[in-house]
Structure 1
């Protein structure tokens, strides 16, 4: 049993789980703006959206 634990520790490189950092990459596009939304009953929904400037923003978390 001790030998299998030792070999597992060697296989994972001796990393400690508390020191691992996970990165997540995602993106958003300016042309993904919804064309419909919610407003108070009887009132028109007014909002500004980027028009004609199609950009992609990539970020890491």
Structure 2
């Protein structure tokens, strides 16, 4: 590859457990799946309902869990 002019960029290890957005989306997807919406309108209603469940405290919890606690 180097002969073709390509260069390699090695990235640090990645852990989705330490990424708050991964945790939030996993929770969001699980709650939407639990709603078992089978139509477009039902899906959007479920998404709206699930988004209402995400309070400021819950968002703070996503950042606190992987030790992002910014006190």
Does the pair score TM above 0.5?
no
More helix by share: 2
TM-score (normalizing by structure 2): 0.25
Greater Cα radius of gyration, structure 1 or 2:
1
TM-score (normalizing by structure 1): 0.27
More strand by share: 1
